[in-house]
Structure 1
Amino acid sequence: MLKSFIRLFVETFLAYKSEWIGRQAFPSRRVSLPVDLREYVPPNDGWIGFYRDHSDMQYSNQIWSYGTDGKIVSRIGTRTESFLTGTIPVKKGYRVVIDGDGPLLELWFSPSVGGK
């Protein structure tokens, strides 16, 4: 009986913990960044998001993040109507570059729930 009780407790605890761990990567809030920003180093793990007006398709933008080895680990770009807004995951301390000739209307950082 004690064995069954311990097993139930452990299974319940682990189920709760795995759900809790899974939620840690989700965005927690939005921190507005200047739209003319060209480089950013996030203070926490999280997401960089942007929005651009779709009426001006002659311009393009790219946002990418470097890993510790100096290689790009995540990237998003705009040039077609399907990518006028987006987000990329970023890691605390990794350099993020915002490049392009298109005017961004919004730029933001959303720290992950676990990165507060």
Structure 2
Amino acid sequence: MSTGASRKWICCEDGVPHGRLSDTEAPKDFVQSVARALRILDVVAGSKEPVRAQWIASEVNLHLATTSHLLATLVHVGYLERNERTYKLASGRILELSSRLEQDWRPLASVTESFEARGRGHR
């Protein structure tokens, strides 16, 4: 069963994703804790409101203690913000990553100028 864009997760009989790749799909150097942390980021990002650790744990099908440790780490490294008992994406770190991605996708000025010049010539 797929729970996201081309992500395959092992599911139990009731169809709830366990949040881990099957052994046959994961590479030998796969780091489960990193995958779990990224899954937590996906879940928090998918929520319109700040969410509680217990809800996150339920969504990613991890024990609350494991989820709490991963949440604390994600807060410490700047990917999540904690307010009282809820978590949300830390906009500063996420925007920083987003701007890096945008820079990678932004066309070079010379290419942009070339297309603009061609456009002016066809009018």
When normalised by structure 1's length, the TM-score is: 0.22
Structure 2 length-normalised TM? 0.21
Higher strand share: 1
The structure that is helix-richer by fraction is 2
